[in-house]
Amino acid sequence: MLGSLSPQAAEGKKAQPDFEVWAIDQADTSPDDGGLLYIWDGADISDNPSEAEAEVIELAQAAAEAGCPVARRPHMLLTNHTEPPSHVIISNVGSGHIFFVDVESKEIVGCVGGAGNAHAAVATPDNSMVIVDDQNGQNLRKVHTDYASNSVDLQTHEVVRTQSLARPWSTDPKPDIADIVGDRMFIALRGPKPLTAIPTLESAARTPGVAVLKVHTNCNSFDWDPKDIAPMVSPHTTTLSDGTVVTSADPHGLEVVLR
């Protein structure tokens, strides 16, 4: 979803906090499971998105190294509420597993299963638990958390302006999750063959990755160019219904992690 622009965007080029942009490619990286976690330095991806180098973590391997089940469809990621955030929480919608990733080490340090169709997992403000949205089961599941010891247990809003992201270099971008820091908005762009929510909307013209938009101070317009996409293109391929072979990458979750 592409939300409305926050007042932060109007503040222009003030000193920005240190941050990273974390984004998930939920496509399988091993038979029927896995996925990729991309992590960019905030300054690098803001200044030169297309050339910014990401740290890429293969989640099947990371889970195995942590002694956790290899999960499927890493879908959403959100931080806890320490200052700054100490953990990122990844929900795997295909298998119902929740991963807890240490922000400093970038390692999975906890996991819990049995969360049904785990679409998203949100930390409570006091950090005492995570609430998991079991979408298909229509349940909310509580997971008790202790981040210090890395332990887990099972006014109205109106649309004021609409602007298209479509451009000649990205004619069908399919924007999904978005976040904003200062005058930069970071948006996950879906892949050519979506794995969730819009699986029938295929397009070889997609540009999977993170779009970095420069938001104007009036908050009513933005700029972006071909160089403003940080690519998330998997070497693995899949085939569209018309026979076209495309990358299997399908970015979805995205979170700005303040440091």
User: Average pLDDT of 210-227?
Assistant: 80
* Domains of the chain, each with CATH number or no CATH: 7-154+158-258 (2.40.128.630)
From residue 106, give the alpha-carbon distance in Å to each of 15, 93, 96, 109, 183.
26, 21, 21, 9, 27
Task: Output the six-digit token pair for 1.
Answer: 């979803």
User: Average pLDDT of 22-44?
Assistant: 93
Q: Give the predicted TM-score (pTM) of the model.
A: 0.75
The torsion angles phi and psi of 147, rounded to 5 degrees, stand at: -70, -30
DSSP 119: E
Is residue 111 within 8 Å of residue 99, measured between CB atoms? yes
Contacts of 45 (CB under 8 A, 6+ apart): 21, 52, 186, 210, 212, 230
Task: Output the six-digit token pair for 184.
Answer: 């930069």
pLDDT computed for residue 151 by the predictor? 67
Helices (H), 120-183: none
Report for 133-147, 158-172, 176-190, 213-227: range of highest mean pLDDT: 176-190
pLDDT computed for residue 10 by the predictor? 42
Is residue 49 within 8 Å of residue 38, measured between CB atoms? no
Is 192 or 141 the better-scoring residue by pLDDT?
192
Task: Output the six-digit token pair for 65.
Answer: 């190294």
Which residues, listed in sequence order, are joined to residue 210 by a DSSP beta bridge? 188, 230
Task: Output the six-digit token pair for 66.
Answer: 């942590």
pLDDT computed for residue 175 by the predictor? 82
DSSP 66: T
